[in-house]
Amino acid sequence: MPTHATKTTTISGRETTVPLLPCISADETLAFYQALGFAVTYQMTRPYLYLALRWSDIELHFGKGSKNLDPSEENAGGCLVMVDTVEPYHRAFTEALRAKYGKVLATGRPRITRFRPGQSRFSLVDPAGNNVIFIQRDEPEELEYGGSAKLTGLAKVIDNARILREFKNDDRAAARALDIGLARFGAAATVEDKARALAARLELVIALQEATTGQSLKQQLLDLPLSEEARSHLSDELKAAERLEDWLARTRPSQPTPPKRTGASRRR
């Protein structure tokens, strides 16, 4: 009897996953992502809404959001973008926003979250409340909410505030944790840990625009008897507030005004 060969197929392993995110305003969505440098690869609003955008090898697609979608909750949809090194992406988007708006969109919605040295992620929050999160591949897989179990006292509070700030994007909760921790553990903490906590809280003052408490925290930080060696070791942490102020305040460099044309030049 004749035999029939069985046709087999293999999985190539070259899959592409493209997120389909909700959109409430095509114009606002396009304006934000194009400002970041995304190119529009497809655009349709009738008979239904569909947008496709691309930046490098990152593709984001958008469809009409539900009637119950509340952008203010900022949980409409999400996408994780895994990268080797996260800082260059943050820098590229920051520069693109400055080029478009003359400033960074750092508050409200849409926005880009801030970035501190050593941080392993940041987010783009778009007009519909979607979160596109850029994550460094070697980021630890497990987080200990409440702070690392290996730490105690103010050191553990500082670690908890870091997680609230960088992974939950909850600056107010991070500020509360530091305020409570400083009050509870500050007297018994090492000078270095107290400096780290005050510096972290001062950076949150800038982020939360709490001008009334900033001067007091600055003075407390200045009054600490930190050695030069400790100041050098904690340099990045101590400069966090200053770095954030610079990031928020710096605008696009002004372009030189072209010289006015004289009457003679107009008649050429």
Q: Specify the amino acid at residue 69.
A: L
The pLDDT assigned to 256 comes to 43
DSSP 207-268: HHT-HHHHHHHHHHHHHS---HHHHHHTHHHHTHHHHHHHHHH--PPPPPPPPPPPHHHHT-
Which residues have CB under 8 Å from 83's CB, separation 6+?
A: 89, 134, 135, 136, 137
Asked if the model's pLDDT at residue 1 lies above 80, the reply is no
Q: How far apart, in whole angstroms, are the C-alpha atoms of residue 31 and residue 49? A: 16
Chain-centroid distance of CA 3 in Å reads: 61
Q: Has residue 46 been placed in a domain?
A: no
Count of structural domains within the chain: 1
Q: Has residue 27 been placed in a domain?
A: no
Asked if the model's pLDDT at residue 4 lies above 90, the reply is no
Mean pLDDT, range 62-76, rounded to an integer: 94
Mean pLDDT, range 103-116, rounded to an integer: 94
Asked if the model's pLDDT at residue 7 lies above 90, the reply is no
Mean pLDDT, range 76-101, rounded to an integer: 96
Chain-centroid distance of CA 249 in Å reads: 16
Mean pLDDT, range 88-99, rounded to an integer: 96
Q: Has residue 11 been placed in a domain?
A: no
The pLDDT assigned to 214 comes to 81
pLDDT band at 65 (very low <50, low <70, confident <90, very high): very high
Q: Has residue 97 been placed in a domain?
A: no
Q: Has residue 188 been placed in a domain?
A: yes
pLDDT band at 13 (very low <50, low <70, confident <90, very high): confident
Average pLDDT, the chain: 89
Mean pLDDT, range 58-68, rounded to an integer: 96
Asked if the model's pLDDT at residue 264 lies above 80, the reply is no
Element (H, E) at 46: none
Of 4-13, 62-71, 229-238, least confident by mean pLDDT is: 4-13
Is the CA virtual torsion 21, 26, 31, 35 positive or negative? positive
Mean pLDDT, range 33-42, rounded to an integer: 98
For the stretch 162-201, pLDDT in tens is: 999 999 999 999 999 999 999 999 999 999 999 999 999 9
- The pTM score is 0.84
Range of the domain at 217: 144-251
Asked if the model's pLDDT at residue 119 lies above 60, the reply is yes
Q: Has residue 19 been placed in a domain?
A: no
Mean pLDDT, range 67-82, rounded to an integer: 95
Q: Has residue 172 been placed in a domain?
A: yes
Of 78-82, 132-136, 193-197, 243-247, least confident by mean pLDDT is: 243-247
Q: How far apart, in whole angstroms, are the C-alpha atoms of residue 199 and residue 193? A: 10
Q: Has residue 236 been placed in a domain?
A: yes
